[in-house]
């Protein structure tokens, strides 16, 4: 792999003694507002507000949220496919904002993206060979002949498309959805990236092959020590695949922590609702019932905590002031006033999955 790390003198590279767990890409106070159409319209969609996190070598960070919560916007911001409204992106501690085409090229050589739809992200008129060759030539210089051939075979084998000869001349329409997604991953790997941004990489695939793709990404994390941002709406797959999980609601991070604790002992009322809403055949009783309400408009988001209109515990404090991320345990944070030490904080009923299912829907009450 080291032979491939050429032409990288312009950007800060990983320190020679980089170890798994070291920070790679950092989002600092990320903010994105979209202007609404209309003459004289000053309204903006608050898609992402004050988002901070760090992607680390050989670690997977999951970003979970419902559709419209801003998770794909974050991926596109990190890939620098659109400009930031505020905040910064830092690669190995240095500001990575791209200023021109050349610096963008260098940046995408480090940070690659995998899209949701493998049917749309591969050009249907080119065979796999062309798709991968193009990516190799852009990112690794002019490979030719045997060198190119062995690089292609290596890529296909790394995404477990074996034997490589069987796939290399195929057009995308000749491949199944899972195989196409593997080709898309191989194309990203051609750049030998340090960061993979995977935007719902399995949600368009058949249920029986989703795990294959997740296990492949896991293998890349372990063998190549790639830092992965895994964006999903399926919190169960985040638990399976990710080391840490961040939950997003209406453009803000509401909870973060290691995946196991976030899913087994959710702290934020929204995470609790999310976890209880997931179908669970083993426990047909402990489900959220009577959950009501929908995600708010992001043009005029609710003041204070954006979850307050749906939160059973919300108080005046929640309706007026934005809760900061408060430490709620070992490397865990939740943006909920209930965990603060303010005297006017809301009283949360005891969290976790042991509470009776109706408790989440009742208005404020004592500790159960």
Smallest distance from the beta carbon of 317 to other proteins, in angstroms?
A: 24
Smallest distance from the beta carbon of 209 to other proteins, in angstroms?
A: 6
Q: Based on CB atoms, which residue is closest to other proteins, 10 or 289?
A: 289
Q: Based on CB atoms, which residue is closest to other proteins, 91 or 334?
A: 334
Q: Based on CB atoms, which residue is closest to other proteins, 176 or 320?
A: 176
Q: Based on CB atoms, which residue is closest to other proteins, 64 or 328?
A: 64
Q: Based on CB atoms, which residue is closest to other proteins, 11 or 204?
A: 204
Q: Which residues pair with 327 in a beta bridge?
A: 333
Smallest distance from the beta carbon of 347 to other proteins, in angstroms?
A: 23
Q: Are the CB atoms for 198 and 237 separated by under 8 Å? A: no
Smallest distance from the beta carbon of 280 to other proteins, in angstroms?
A: 6
Q: Based on CB atoms, which residue is closest to other proteins, 95 or 285?
A: 285
Smallest distance from the beta carbon of 252 to other proteins, in angstroms?
A: 16
Site residues (CB under 8 A) for other proteins? 66-67, 176-179, 206-212, 214-215, 233-237, 239-241, 260, 263-264, 273-275, 277-284, 287-292, 294-295, 353
3-state secondary structure the chain: CHHHCCCCCCCCCCCCCCCCCCEEEEEEEEEEEEECCCCCCCCEEEEEEEEEEEEECCCEEEEECCCCCCHHHHHHHHCCCCCCCEEEEEECCEECCCCCHHHHHHHHHHEEEECCCCCCCCCCCCCHHHHHHHHHHHHHCCCCHHHHHHHHHHHHHHCCCCCHHHHHCCCHHHCCHHHHHHHHHHHHHCCCCCEEEEECCCCCCCHHHHHHHHHHHHHHHHHHCCEEEEEECCHHHHHHHCCEEEEEECCEEEEEEEHHHHHHCCCCHHHHHHHHHCCCCCCCCCCCCCCCCCCCCCCCCCCCCCCCCCCCCCCHHHHHCCCCCEEEECCEEECCHHHCCCCCCCCCCCCCCCCCHHHHHCCCCCCC
Alpha-helical runs (H) found in 190-291: 207-224, 235-241, 259-264, 269-277
Q: Are the CB atoms for 84 and 30 separated by under 8 Å? A: yes
Smallest distance from the beta carbon of 233 to other proteins, in angstroms?
A: 6
Query: Distance between CA atoms of 265 and 328, rounded to whole angstroms?
Result: 11
Q: Based on CB atoms, which residue is closest to other proteins, 146 or 207?
A: 207
Smallest distance from the beta carbon of 26 to other proteins, in angstroms?
A: 28
Q: Based on CB atoms, which residue is closest to other proteins, 241 or 339?
A: 241
Smallest distance from the beta carbon of 238 to other proteins, in angstroms?
A: 9
Q: Based on CB atoms, which residue is closest to other proteins, 40 or 290?
A: 290
Smallest distance from the beta carbon of 176 to other proteins, in angstroms?
A: 4
Residue in the structure block whose two tokens are 């309204």: 43
């Amino acid at each position: 792999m080291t032979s491939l790390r050429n032409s990288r003198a312009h950007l800060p590279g990983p320190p020679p003694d980089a170890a798994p767990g070291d920070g790679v890409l950092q989002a600092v106070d990320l903010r994105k507002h979209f202007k609404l159409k209309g003459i004289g319209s000053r309204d903006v969609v608050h898609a992402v507000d004050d988002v901070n996190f760090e992607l680390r070598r050989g670690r997977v960070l999951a970003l979970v949220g419902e559709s419209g919560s801003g998770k794909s916007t974050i991926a596109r911001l990190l890939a620098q496919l659109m400009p930031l409204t505020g905040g910064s992106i830092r690669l190995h501690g240095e500001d990575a904002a791209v200023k021109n085409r050349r610096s963008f090229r260098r940046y995408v050589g480090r940070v690659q993206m995998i899209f949701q739809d493998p049917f749309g992200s591969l050009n249907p008129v080119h065979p796999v060979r062309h798709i991968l060759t193009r990516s190799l030539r852009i990112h690794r210089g002019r490979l030719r002949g045997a060198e190119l051939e062995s690089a292609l075979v290596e890529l296909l084998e790394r995404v477990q498309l074996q034997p490589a000869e069987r796939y290399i001349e195929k057009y995308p329409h000749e491949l199944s959805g899972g195989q196409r997604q593997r080709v898309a991953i191989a194309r990203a790997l051609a750049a030998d990236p340090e960061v993979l941004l995977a935007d719902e990489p399995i949600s368009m695939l058949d249920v029986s092959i989703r795990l294959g793709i997740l296990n492949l990404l896991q293998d890349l994390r372990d063998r190549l020590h790639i830092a992965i941002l895994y964006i999903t709406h399926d919190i169960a797959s985040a638990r399976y695949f990710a080391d840490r999980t961040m939950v997003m609601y209406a453009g803000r991070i509401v909870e973060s922590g290691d995946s196991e604790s976030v899913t087994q002992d959710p702290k934020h009322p929204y995470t609790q609702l999310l976890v209880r809403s997931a179908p669970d055949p083993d426990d047909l009783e402990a489900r959220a019932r009577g959950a009501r309400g929908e995600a708010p408009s992001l043009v005029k988001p609710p003041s204070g905590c954006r979850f307050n209109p749906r939160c059973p515990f919300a108080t005046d404090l929640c309706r007026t002031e934005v809760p900061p991320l408060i430490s709620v345990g070992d490397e865990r944070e939740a943006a909920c006033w209930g965990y603060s030490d303010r005297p006017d904080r809301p009283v949360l009923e005891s969290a976790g999955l042991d509470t009776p299912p109706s408790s989440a829907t009742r208005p404020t009450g004592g500790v159960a």
